[in-house]
Chain A
Amino acid sequence: GQQVMQIPQYQHVQEGEDFTTYCNSSTTLSNIQWYKQRPGGHPVFLIQLVKSGEVKKQKRLTFQFGEAKKNSSLHITATQTTDVGTYFCAGRYGSSNTGKLIFGQGTTLQVKP
């Protein structure tokens, strides 16, 4: 069935180091979204990627969508303690706006000051 795999499950970094999390889908996605969940909180939308090969940046965060629209990555440059949380990718299957939204397992980022 439709499944989104995300790795790694956990990542501990020293403040200032870079961080990357990867998502992979077994089938082609309509689009992919990224969310951040702070400890004790709820997921909050970060960005959506729609086009094959798309790259978007938000300050220190860089998001990429693969050419085949099956994989994606989130890269954080020079992590800060405020980046702590769990980052989820969510793949949209079927219709671009009304299709299923399947979340990856998430990558929990810990940043040591």
Chain B
Amino acid sequence: DSGVTQTPKHLITATGQRVTLRCSPRSGDLSVYWYQQSLDQGLQFLIQYYNGEERAKGNILERFSAQQFPDLHSELNLSSLELGDSALYFCASSVVSSSPEAFFGQGTRLTVV
């Protein structure tokens, strides 16, 4: 168990809909990353937050948005969903100051039908 919690584990929704994925980082971790992993694909970096502020952006679509709240949990909002958005969405957190690694949650598997 990495200590990073993602909910829900699975999500099935229809095209055009909007969903929210939730991530609770490890206790004390200030940095949160979101990644998208499609079938047989690598981990596409979406966005990073550090202590509530957006730190870096990757290939995140305009239909997607994220935020990190004062209690450091983060949400990834996906709207106007398309079939191609079906993927595994990972959240990772890191403590920054004392250890280099990112700890990954179990992921949310999103299926758009």
Scan residues 63-113 of chain A and give those whose CB is less than 8 A from a CB of chain B. 88, 90, 94, 97-106
A88 and B101 contacting across the interface, CB-CB below 8 Å: no
Scan residues 53-74 of chain B and give those whose CB is less than 8 A from a CB of chain A. 55-56, 58
* Given known A-B contacts A42-B2, A43-B104, A45-B102, A98 and B42 have beta carbons under 8 A apart: no
A43 and B106 contacting across the interface, CB-CB below 8 Å: no
Compute how far the CA of A98 lies from the CA of B32 in the bound complex, rounded to whole angstroms: 10
Scan residues 89-113 of chain B and give those whose CB is less than 8 A from a CB of chain A. 90, 92, 94, 96-97, 100-107
How many chain B residues sit at the interface, stated as a range, is 20 to 34
- Cβ of B83 to closest chain A Cβ, rounded Å: 22
Q: Which of A45, A94, A98 contacts B101 (CB 8 A)?
A: A45
A27 located at the interface, meaning its Cβ lies under 8 Å from any Cβ of chain B in the complex: no
A33 and B101 contacting across the interface, CB-CB below 8 Å: yes
Q: Which of B41, B58, B96, B104 contacts A42 (CB 8 A)?
A: B104
A101 and B33 contacting across the interface, CB-CB below 8 Å: yes
Interface of A is mostly: strand
A24 located at the interface, meaning its Cβ lies under 8 Å from any Cβ of chain B in the complex: no
Compute how far the CA of A33 lies from the CA of B48 in the bound complex, rounded to whole angstroms: 17
B86 located at the interface, meaning its Cβ lies under 8 Å from any Cβ of chain A in the complex: no
Minimal Cβ-Cβ distance residue in A for B88: A42
List B residues at the A interface (Cβ < 8 Å).
2, 31, 33, 35, 41-45, 48, 50, 55-56, 58, 90, 92, 94, 96-97, 100-107
Given A42-B2, A43-B104, A88-B42, 13 further pairs, Cβ under 8 A:
A42-B105, A43-B90, A48-B100, A48-B101, A90-B102, A97-B94, A100-B48, A101-B33, A101-B45, A101-B48, A101-B102, A103-B43, A103-B45
List A residues at the B interface (Cβ < 8 Å).
6, 31, 33, 42-45, 48, 88, 90, 94, 97-106
